[in-house]
Amino acid sequence: KGNEKVLRGRFADAAFFYEEDQKLSIEEWNKKLETVVFHESIGTIAEKVNRTKQLAVWLAREERLPAEEVSLVERAATIAKFDLVTNMVGEFPELQGQMGQDYALKSNEPVQVARAIYEQYLPRFANDHLPQTAVGSMLSLAEKLDTVLSCFAIGLIPTGSQDPYALRRQANGVVQILLETKSALSLDVIIEHWV
């Protein structure tokens, strides 16, 4: 009974946060990212989103995706992180991406855009699934590359005991996605473009 009481309380909180989140549009949530710092030397999450969008669109064009998919990549990248400032993800951080996908669908975003918001975090751990869509693959690649390259640019390089931004995992994800998609792009070309 004690556990049931605790669970009921958590479910009630989740229902409240979910309802509250519906009161703002994706654009309103996205605007809040301008005040959230990713890293003091790298900038806000909004700035990271902008860099990621530019890289994702460039990757999509380099991979010769159809114009319609390039537009979907651009939209997905534009709203990729809005759920980070929602009440639901604030209370349940492990739902990042999942809530973004759900809220995007509720806001009538294209299915490919909503799916990409979730897939940007894949793979999350060893032997996890990779993005299954072209839009999700481009967004995931760009997001991971921006994180790794930004951190390396300011000297945040993993050591034997520390990797606070999970750069090893993210770099491994980049390699896995490039191999899975049979990309003709080399990391040298991508890094040169990012710089």
Task: Copy the structure tokens of residue 37.
Answer: 């710092």
Which residues, 6 or more positions from 175, have their beta carbon under 8 angstroms from its beta carbon?
none
Q: Determine the Cα–Cα distance for residues 21 and 24; give it in Å rounded to an integer.
A: 6
Which residues, 6 or more positions from 156, have their beta carbon under 8 angstroms from its beta carbon?
39, 164, 165, 167
- The pLDDT tens digits of the residues spanning 74-92 come to 999 999 999 999 999 999 9
Instruction: Point out the least confidently predicted range of 7-16, 40-49, 97-106.
Output: 7-16
For residue 3, the model assigns a pLDDT of: 87
Is residue 2 very low, low, confident or very high in pLDDT (cuts 50, 70, 90)? confident
* pTM reported for the whole predicted model: 0.93
For residue 184, the model assigns a pLDDT of: 86
Q: Determine the Cα–Cα distance for residues 163 and 165; give it in Å rounded to an integer.
A: 6
The arithmetic mean of pLDDT across residues 180-188, rounded, is 88
Q: Determine the Cα–Cα distance for residues 84 and 81; give it in Å rounded to an integer.
A: 6
